[in-house]
Structure 1
Amino acid sequence: MDKRSKIALYVIGAVILLMMIAEVTKPKAINWRDSYSASDKIPLGCYVMFNELETFSDQPILTSEESIYQYLKQVDTTTKKTLVFINNRIYFDAEESEALLNFVNKGNTVFLSSTYFYGNVMDTLNIAIQRQYSNLFKATSSHHFTSPHLQEFNRNFEDVIENSHFVSVDTLNTTILGRVTTVDEDDTEITNPNFVSVNYGDSNGQFLLHSNPFAFTNYHLLKGNEDYAAAILSFLPKQQIIWDNNYKSGRKIITSPLRYILQNTALKWAFYISMLGLVLFVLFRGKRTQRIIPVIDKLENATVDFTRTIGELYYQHGDFSNIIEKKIEYFLEFTRTNYYLNTANLNLAFIEKLAIKSGNTKEDSRILVDYLVYLKSKNTHTEEELIELNKKIEQFTKHRL
């Protein structure tokens, strides 16, 4: 390798190395995905919130990783508990709604914070919520409490916020605990309830509904709005908290089939038994079966292909005289090899012997030999003469004995 090539390779290697370093060291883009998951430290995750929940309970925090219908079948309901749901959207189907209503009817508490929640639970509580789709994530909103003792915890949310509020509540069972004030396009202030308490059942159970889940994300808790979130959570009874980690936009979903199988007890054992069966099958099958004998193909005769290739090469170059010379020599060699005739003199005696040994008529033999003599006497030949020679030889050799 010369000096110039080495320099070029060094330059290319240096460029690739610099690109790799730049890719590794460049700052990662901020992930603004709605998550609300307890394990996510991104701006809209709830890592900080989850780790601070223990200050609002006198018992360890429980975590629900499955549907609330399945979870409430297993949880101990002899002591009162608080279920906490925080997500951008929350929906409960008929079975989940019935399980939640039964849970609250026993004197427990359910806290829901979402910009939009719907389902049978909301219908039963006569609650309706509305989102403000204009100025999404941009409209500044003022969140304040109705209690005079909590006014110091009022906060303005200037960014990373979706404003929504309650447009219909059951005034007989509902207490408004907080409101949100926004400014419309006409610079008119609009105030609506965004934090309410709904009593349910005969055992002092309650639903706490809040329409600003962004207040509990890492972004706002670390930006100076943590007092507002703490004031909201101060309404929770001092009892064990169950954190929902299932109804989350950032919930970890199993995408690997093998991981799903290994997390299910029945499927896991079925997988292990299948693998063991396959190993035993391979061991015993390999000992009882003779190894396959490979098939060795016979060597191919490439003479014909080689000859054809050479002929096509001559033909493409238009060297008809050379091809005619080769074909005449080949025919004479064929005659010497198969009919044992001397081809030094192509006279009348040769023609008679050729006719007898080849099975052709004397006239056909004479025509072919005369044409061979004619072509050998010429210095240049045409394509038509080559074609004619080929036809005569093929016609003559068809009658070979």
Structure 2
Amino acid sequence: MDKRSKIALYGIGGIILLLMIAEVAKPKALNWRNSYSAADKIPLGCYVLFNDLKTFTSNPLENSDKSLYETLNNNPDIQNTSLILINDYISVEDEGSDALLKFVENGNTVFISTGSMYGKLADTLNIKIDQNYDGLFKLATKSVFVNKNLKNNERIFDDVIENTFFISIDTTKASVLGYMSDENHSKKEINFIKTPFGENGGTFYIHTNPFAFTNYHLLNDKEDYAASVLSYLPENNSILWDNYYKSGRKVIKSPLRFILTNSALKWSFYISLISLIIFVIFKGKRTQRIIPVVEPLKNSTVEFTQTIGDLYYQHGDYTNIIEKKITYFLEFIRASYYLETNEFSERFIQKLAVKSSNTVQETKSLIDLITFLKSKNNHTENELTALNRQIEHFTKNNL
């Protein structure tokens, strides 16, 4: 890489690094998501309220991350407890509504602050909530109490609001505890009621401005109003904070979460995982690495000899070929039959015939031909053919 390319590369790397630093260092945009979660410190979370509730009562403060049906049905004998539900809308399934109504029938208290509520619970309590569509729900309004002793804690909500109020309540049971009015006090709407339920002193407190309990308003001079609303709850009750029916509820939508939240599936997953690990460990020890097949070296001596012979034959050098065939044949005799080939005597011929399984006549004919050919200086093709034929016939018993 030349010097110019290195400079260009370093320059690009420096620009990328600066962009990364700028991205990390830039201020994060404020999150205005409607959350109402006890864990969220964003403006519309309920972190401040949840932690302040710890000083509201000396009894335990519990946090529920399950549905009302799961929470209340698993604790049917719960007593002296105030359940707090705060969200921009409350939609409880029928089973949860039944569990909640039974919870209040047993003498417990439920506080709900929401801008919209529907379903079986709203039908049972005979309430309907609507919104003020003038000014897109954002007109400044003052939240006041019926109890004049709480007048000093009334507040004007001029931002971060949605003006919702009751348009229908059960007038035979419900008591009005608070209103919302415009700045001129020319019109007021009910926004806080109390509804007794059952024969054991159970009570619903329903409020229509959940924004009043968010971090934003509690840290902007509205904490006295929120405290006055919650002061209607029984002081000696334990508090059960709902963290399930929240717009900002954190849900990890993954198959693994579903498995780990189910006891049977969780243990099946763990057992399968452990079994797989054990299998891999023992399988890895017992199985050898695949041994590659190594092809043996191919013996090309015959092909090489054939090639050389063809070269000699094409050039008509019969003498050279005959000499080499005789030399090779005599070496074959010495190596195979352990006979000396310096002298072709009658004794030699008889021994060679016996050891080679040939007749004495056949053996003598081959030796005489070899003797004759060795005595000549030039040879013909017919002589080469005759020699080759007799050698092949002689060695056929050794193949």
User: What TM-score do you get using the length of structure 1 for normalisation?
Assistant: 0.68
Instruction: Tell me the distance in 2 between the aligned counterparts of 1:263 and 1:120.
Output: 28
8 Å CA contact 1:137–1:159 kept in 2: the answer is no
1:129 equivalent in structure 2: 129
Q: Distance in 1 between the 2:34 and 2:252 partners?
A: 18
Matches within 5 A, 1:86-101: 86-101=86-101
* Partner AA of 1:270 in structure 2: S
Q: 1:25 to 1:280 in 2, by over 3 A?
A: closer
Secondary structure of residue in 2 paired with 1:156: strand
Q: Does 1:199 align with 2:185?
A: no
**How many angstroms does 1:18 deviate by?**
2.0
Offset at 1:8?
3.3
- The offset of 1:294, in angstroms, is 5.7
Asked whether 1:221 is paired with 2:218, we answer yes
Amino acid in structure 2 at the alignment position of 1:230 = A
Query: Structure 1 residue 84 and structure 2 residue 84: aligned?
Result: yes
What is the CA-CA distance between 1:222 and the residue it aligns to?
Answer: 0.7
Unpaired runs of 5+ residues, structure 1, are 298-336, 341-401
Of 234, 238, 241, the residue aligned with 1:240 is 238
Q: Is the 8 A contact 1:164 1:212 kept in 2?
A: yes
In the alignment, the residues of structure 2 paired with residue 180 and residue 285 of structure 1 have an alpha-carbon distance, to the nearest angstrom, of 73
Q: What displacement does 1:155 show?
A: 0.8
Q: How does 1:1-400 map to 2 (within 5 A)?
A: 2-75=2-75, 77=77, 79-136=79-136, 138-182=138-182, 189-238=186-235, 239-286=237-284, 291-292=289-290
1:322-365 per-residue CA deviation (whole Å, 9 max, x = no partner) reads: xxxxxxxxxxxxxxx9xx9xxxxxxxxxxxxxxxxxxxxxxxxx
Kindly state the Cα deviation for residue 125 of structure 1 after the two structures are TM-superposed. Answer: 1.4
In 2, the alpha carbon distance for the partners of 1:291 and 1:10 equals 45
State the Cα deviation string for residues 102-150 of structure 1 (Å, max 9, x = none). Answer: 1111111100000001121211111111123443363211111111111
Distance 1:70 1:263 in 2: 13
Give the direction of change, closer, same or farther, for the CA distance of 1:236–1:245 in structure 2 (3 Å limit).
same
Distance 1:231 1:7, change over 3 A: same
Q: How far does the alpha carbon of each residue in 1:293-316 deviate from its partner, in whole angstroms, 9 at most, with x for none?
A: 56899xxxxxxxxxxxxxxxxxxx
Q: CA–CA distance in 1 between the matches of 2:129 and 2:293?
A: 77
Does the C-alpha gap of structure 1 residues 83 and 18 become closer, same or farther in structure 2, counting only changes over 3 Å?
same
Shift in Å at residue 78 of structure 1? 5.2
Contact 2:79-2:107 at 8 Å conserved across structures = no
- TM-fit CA distance, 1:210: 0.2
Go from structure 1 to structure 2 and tell me whether the alpha carbon gap of 1:54 and 1:15 turns closer, same or farther (over 3 Å shift): same
User: How far, CA to CA, are the matches of 2:270 and 2:211 in structure 1?
Assistant: 45
**Which whole-Å CA distance do the structure 2 matches of 1:210 and 1:295 have between them?**
82
Distance in 1, Cα, partners of 2:176 & 2:30: 36
Distance in 2 between the 1:288 and 1:54 partners? 60
Mapped contact 1:137–1:160 kept (Cα < 8 A): no
Paired residues in the alignment total 300
Displacement of 1:68 in angstroms is 0.8
Give distance in 2, aligned partners of 1:269 and 1:210. Answer: 43
SS in 2 for 1:136: helix
Amino acid at match of 1:86: I
Aligned to 2:386: none
Displacement of 1:3: 4.8
Segments of 4+ moved more than 6 angstroms: none
CA distance in 2 between counterparts of 1:38 and 1:216 reads: 11
Secondary structure of 1:215's counterpart equals helix
Q: CA deviation at 1:41?
A: 0.5
Task: Give the Cα separation in 2 of the matches to 1:94 and 1:265.
Answer: 25
Distance, in Å, in 2 between the alignment partners of 1:204 and 1:284 is 66
- Decide whether the 8 Å contact of 2:36 with 2:46 is kept in 1: yes
What is the deviation of 1:285? 4.1
Q: How far did 1:278 drift?
A: 1.9
Secondary structure at 2:135's aligned position in 1? coil
> By how many angstroms is 1:72 displaced?
1.0
Q: State the 1:179 CA deviation.
A: 0.5
Give the direction of change, closer, same or farther, for the CA distance of 1:93–1:268 in structure 2 (3 Å limit). Answer: closer
1:295/1:191 CA distance change after superposition, 3 Å: farther
Question: Would the aligned equivalents of 1:194 and 1:211 in 2 still touch at CA under 8 Å?
Answer: yes
Which residue is 2:352 aligned to? none
Contact 1:140–1:182, Cα closer than 8 Å, also in 2: yes
Deviation by residue 1:55-85 (Cα, 9 ceiling, x = unmatched): 2222020111111111112337353110000
Sequence identity of aligned pairs in percent? Answer: 54
Distance across 1 between alignment mates of 2:177 and 2:48: 24
Name which of structure 1's ranges 191-200 and 131-140 shifts more when overlaid on structure 2. Answer: 131-140
Gaps of 5+ in 2: 296-310, 315-399
The amino acid of 1:29's aligned partner reads A
Cα distance, 1:294–1:162 mapped onto 2, change above 3 Å: farther
Max radius of gyration: which structure? 2
